[in-house]
Structure formats: structure tokens, C-alpha cells
Structure 1
Amino acid sequence: MDVFSDLIRGVRAHGSLFGSSALSPPWALHFVDGAPLTLCTVLTGAGWIVPEDRPPEPLRARETVVVRGPATFTFVDEVGTRAEPVACGEHCATPEQGGTRHRLGWNDRGGDGDGRGPTTLIVGAYPVHGEISRRLLDALPVVLRADADGTGDAVLDHLAAEVAVDTPGQQVVLDRLLDWMLVCTLREWFDRPGGEPPAWWAAQRDPVVGEALRLLHAEPAAPWTVAALAECTGVSRSTLAKRFADLVGEPPLTYLTRWRMALAADLLVEREAATVAAIARTVGYSDPFGFSAAFKRVRGANPSEFRRTAAPASARPVRRPADGGRPAEVPDPRPG
């Protein structure tokens, strides 16, 4: 398990959080849910992404942007458009709400409007929960973009083909394609020339530190020592310690402790019936008191306090999509 795979594993497109719109100008779609991550891809045409308190970003055919919440944003045909914003969130826009066709997993080719032709927008909103995925969110800007002709270009061909038809299983296919697109977009952004990716991203490619990171993520509960990691990676203890700290920004065991505490924080919320001692054993602590002390040092509260104040995912309200489909969990408005 590499670091990126671990951090993104809880980020998944989910049924009713998908929309496809074929838009004829003028238009203005206001995405009001403030989802932790929203992926927007234009298949045909062009428009502008207008985040709150940020400069507008052009979005042309076969380009993708990812917007990080909780702030909302608008997709418009042009900056200063005369169109009245249509709220897109709990219920998708309908033709009666200004003429924009926007429905879950459904494509409308739209009209010719002013001769520029329709713009086809694909949107996937991601409800990102838990402390594990927070590390990924913390590494992202409010808006990041992937230009056309990148590694996600093949995904766009599949998306274009899928939204043009209405077949059984379409929603599942679209969800997975959006997940694929998100991974491609993030990888391209982290690898962009002159970029500043998080330390763990670059460190994964180091033959020594990358292997150490994979070991820590594959077996976080193992009784790791610097000496044991050094033996597994084929270098001396001092070499590993220095190289890891230089590339990751902290010593190996400090990294491991923070990773264990992130895992424990999510387990405390997800496994309401599990005791603190059981959670401690799961993340590599035989002594619950030692675990509690480490958790409070890293998280600022002991495990029991954290569990009481953290809102469990099961307690979040659900909403029913406008088309009468199955309910979906409301995205957490807090990042992460």
C-alpha cells in the first residue's frame, strides 16, 4: 500500500452526487453544497469556474478542475454573465429553473443558443470523511486543474461515450470513471513542472524512503523500530533516519505515530462498540494507557473525548435525489 493509495481510498463518487449538463448560454450553475472535493470536467464547449473569493478559472473542452470545499463555487458561460444563478446541490436544476437541463446520470444535448453550441459539463462531488483523507485534502489548493491531453484524456473518451446513452448500470460506471479521473488529475497536478507536491508524494519515489513508507502503511501495527525498517530497506539505521527526515520532514517513528493516530481517530468514529483498548491493539499498542497518551499528544484530546465530540458518519442526515433514487449521504461541509 503506497501513501497516496492509502489517503485516497475513502474518496469515492457516490450515486446521486453525479450530474451531467448540456448547457446553452447564458448559464450560471451555483454549486451550493460545499463538498470537500468537486471534480468538474468539460467534454465539449467551455466556461468559467468562479470560486468564492478567488479569481475565475477558464475551463475549456477536455479540461478538468478540482475544487476543494467548504466554500461554494459557480460555473458560468462567461465572467459577468447575465444568467441568474441556478442552485445545484440537494436538488438538481430542471428546465423550469431557468432552462438548464441538469439531472443525475442523464444527458441532454441542449439547443444551439447563440450559435456557440452546448457545453457539456460532468460533475462529481466527493463526500470526504475521516482523518486519513484529511491529509490528502490538506495538500491541495482551493482550485487545481489538469489540462487537456494528460493521462486522464482516455477517461474522458469513456465518460463522453457513457453520458451519451442511458443504459442499466450507467451510474456505477460513471462513478468509477469519475474516481479514475480524480486520481489521474491529482497525480498530474502533483507531478506538474515547478510544482510543490507534499513531501510524502516525492518521498514515495525514493528507493529507500519509498520502501519504508510502503512498509509503514502496509503494516502500521507492526512493532517497527528504525533498525527494523533499515534492515528491510537495506541501509544502515543512520542512513535511513537521515534520508527519511530529509525527504518526509520528520523522523520515521514520528511519522508512524501520526499515521497510527489518524487511523485510530477514524476507527474510534467508525467502530462505536469497540473499546479504546481494542482500537489501541489494532494500531499497534498493547498498552491502552500508552495509546491514550500518544493520542492526546497528537490529537489534543484523549480517545474517549475525541469519540464523544466527533460526529459519526452514521449520524449524518441523508437526502433523497430529485429523481426519486436511493438516498445519499449529505457531504460533510467541513474539509476532510
Structure 2
Amino acid sequence: MDPLTHLLDGPRARRAFTLRVVMSGSWSIDVQDKAPLTVVAMMTGHAWLTADGDSHRLSPGDVVLVRGPNPYTIGDDPLSATDAIIHPGQICTSASGQDLILEMSHGIRSWGNATQGKNTMLVGTYESDTEVTAAVTQGLPRVAVVPAGHVSVELVKLLEREITTDAPGQGSAADRLLDVLLVHTVRAWVQLHPDAEQGWLAGSTDPVSAGALELFHSRPESGWTLASVAQSLNISRATLASRFRSSVGGPPMSYLTNWRMLLASEMLADAQMTTAKIAKAVGYASPFAFSTAFKRRYGVSPTGYRTHNYRAN
């Protein structure tokens, strides 16, 4: 199972922050929410998104992925003065600290400095540390822009309709549509930049690495060793280690450990999944061994991680 398939199969966005943003005139939004991932779909007009000193002009139909947690700005011009600052928890203030939530709210999940403006966009923010999403996007740049024509316009319009309705199940439907938009955008970016791939994206193009990735993703519960993976692929351990490191960027077993931890962090969202069940599902012989590895990866026990990240949901 490749990471994109897992993204579609597993629980992803949970009450993601989604808005239709409408802006007019000169404007600039300083996003400091520390979110791990944001999807922006430009509907009408234009905008400039600036991150880490690089500016990207967005036109109608463009979809962009922004990897956090570092801040970025989006506005009519990279040099425009800041009108609003988005803080963690999606708290919105002016540059001077004034609360702007009521002033810039315009109906059902519509936000901006005008009710009708020439610049409109959809913004979907994954606010929690969605670890498997991080695994999927780790081969992408800080800002990945997919130009118009490469992501379904119908999908984006369907998300817009779902965002701006109060129909039953709106939240879950918007979450799922945001997930699908993310996957389609990642796919499109990979197809447009075949030579810029890193991590599992690059590994997927190398037959040896792709074979190992398929084993890891489809059977993470198996007791894989370098020798058993090499045997399954009918190659030597040295060849496997060399090819995998060259394409993916690290040792096969390190990748497997990281993938197991990513899966485990997601499974903790399910209250029915005990530590023992998760340990078995991701290939650990005992809950103790799993808890030790998890704490080494995240700095907190599985129980502590669940309480901090999911109990509030």
C-alpha cells in the first residue's frame, strides 16, 4: 500500500479548518498558525504567497500546498502591509492585536475584508500533527504549486459548496473532500516534477526501492529485517541498502521504523485501539517494545500522545 493509498483509506482530516476567503483592494494575511499543512485553491482573481523569502503568484485554478509549521504570507502583493495575523487555533487579529473574528466573518464559513471581492480562494488547514500526511508530503517542497488544469475544477467547486452549507454532515463531508483534493494535488505535483522527487516519491521510481516500500506499506506488521526484505526481492542486502539509501535518502529499516510510528500515531485516534493492538499492528512483539520506540520517536508515551492530540476530539 503506497502512502497516497493509505491517505485515502485511513482517517485524515478531523474537523479541519476550512474557509472560503474573499479579499478586495490591497491586503495581506500573515499566517502564523503553525499548522503542519494547508491547501489553498485560488478561485478568482490573483494572490501572492510568500514563504521563506520566495514568492509565488497564484491564478484562478491554481492549487497550492504549504508545509508548516513556519509562517507564510498571502496577499495581493508581497510588499503589502499586514491586515490580519492568523495565530494557532485560527485566532485572527490585526497587526496591532485587535480581534478580527466578527469584523471579517461574512456568512457560513466565509471570511475576508469584503462580502464580494475579486479575489476568492478556498483554504483548508490541517491543524493537528497529521503524521501520515507528513509522510505523504515529505518529498514535496515547502510550497508546491499546481497550476490550473491539473486538478479537477469540479472537485474544488464541490468542496466550495460543501464549505458554505449548513447541511447535515457538512463537517465530515468537507474533511473527506479536502483529503481527496490533497491527494489529487500531490499526484499532480509529482507528475509535473518527476526529477524533483525526494523520499518515498523518488523511491517509487526505483524498482528495488519500490519493492521494499510496497512490502513496508502493505505489511508493516511483519517482522522485517534487511535480510528478509532482500530475500523477498531476490537481491543482496548490500544492493538493497545501497539502492534504498540512494533513492529514498536513508536506510530501509530506519524508513520502516518511521513508517510504523506514523501509522501508530494515527491509530491512536481510535479509542478502541489499545496499545497492545497497535503494537501488534505495526510489528512490535510487545506493548513495552512499542511504547519504548514510540517515546523515542515522539518524546511522549502512546497514552500521552493520545491524550494530547485526540482526547479533545
- Alignment match, 1:20: 20
More displaced, 10-19 or 214-223? 10-19
- Alignment match, 2:79: 80
What amino acid is the match of 2:125? Answer: A
Superposition deviation, residue 212 in structure 1? 2.8
User: Given the superposition, is the C-alpha separation of residues 268 and 40 from structure 1 closer, same or farther in structure 2, using an over 3 Å criterion?
Assistant: closer
Distance in structure 2 (CA, Å) of the matches to 1:18 and 1:100? 15
**Larger Rg computed on CA atoms:** 1
1:315 aligns to 2:308 (yes or no): yes
Distance in structure 1 (CA, Å) of the matches to 2:273 and 2:156? 43
Distance in structure 1 (CA, Å) of the matches to 2:193 and 2:214? 25
Q: What are the Cα deviations for residues 53-91 of structure 1, in whole angstroms up to 9, with x where unaligned?
A: 523322111112222222333322233336733647635
User: Of the two structures, which has the highest relative contact order with CA contacts closer than 8 Å and spacing of 6 or more?
Assistant: 1
- Indicate conservation of the 8 Å contact 1:13/1:124, yes or no: no
1:218 aligns to 2:218 (yes or no): yes
What amino acid is the match of 2:90? Answer: E
Distance in structure 2 (CA, Å) of the matches to 1:243 and 1:100? 53
User: Given the superposition, is the C-alpha separation of residues 315 and 288 from structure 1 closer, same or farther in structure 2, using an over 3 Å criterion?
Assistant: closer
Count of aligned residue pairs for this structure pair: 306
- Indicate conservation of the 8 Å contact 2:162/2:174, yes or no: yes
Distance in structure 1 (CA, Å) of the matches to 2:70 and 2:23? 23
Q: 3-state DSSP class of the match of 1:312?
A: helix
- Alignment match, 1:46: 46
User: Given the superposition, is the C-alpha separation of residues 243 and 79 from structure 1 closer, same or farther in structure 2, using an over 3 Å criterion?
Assistant: closer
Superposition deviation, residue 2 in structure 1? 1.0
- Alignment match, 2:119: 119
Q: What are the Cα deviations for residues 300-328 of structure 1, in whole angstroms up to 9, with x where unaligned?
A: x658x94359952433599xxxxxxxxx8
- Indicate conservation of the 8 Å contact 2:16/2:126, yes or no: no
Distance in structure 2 (CA, Å) of the matches to 1:23 and 1:302? 45
Distance in structure 1 (CA, Å) of the matches to 2:277 and 2:160? 47
Q: What are the Cα deviations for residues 7-55 of structure 1, in whole angstroms up to 9, with x where unaligned?
A: 787783343611112222233333342211111111111122234x523
Q: What are the Cα deviations for residues 283-314 of structure 1, in whole angstroms up to 9, with x where unaligned?
A: 3343678x47993xxx8x658x9435995243
What amino acid is the match of 1:17? Answer: F
Q: 3-state DSSP class of the match of 2:38?
A: strand
- Indicate conservation of the 8 Å contact 1:10/1:133, yes or no: no
More displaced, 4-13 or 37-46? 4-13
Distance in structure 2 (CA, Å) of the matches to 1:265 and 1:161? 32
What amino acid is the match of 2:142? Answer: V
- Alignment match, 1:183: 183
Instruction: Write the mapping of 1:196-207 to structure 2, written as runs, cut at 5 A.
Output: 196-207=196-207
Aligned alpha-carbon RMSD (Å): 4.4
User: Given the superposition, is the C-alpha separation of residues 119 and 243 from structure 1 closer, same or farther in structure 2, using an over 3 Å criterion?
Assistant: same
User: Given the superposition, is the C-alpha separation of residues 311 and 36 from structure 1 closer, same or farther in structure 2, using an over 3 Å criterion?
Assistant: farther
- Alignment match, 1:247: 247
Gaps of 5+ in 2: 94-98
Distance in structure 2 (CA, Å) of the matches to 1:165 and 1:268? 31
- Indicate conservation of the 8 Å contact 2:63/2:146, yes or no: yes
- Alignment match, 1:149: 149
More displaced, 30-39 or 98-107? 98-107
TM-score by length of 2: 0.73
Distance in structure 2 (CA, Å) of the matches to 1:302 and 1:107? 41
Distance in structure 2 (CA, Å) of the matches to 1:187 and 1:103? 33
TM-score by length of 1: 0.69
What amino acid is the match of 2:189? Answer: W
Gaps of 5+ in 1: 319-327, 330-336
- Alignment match, 2:96: none
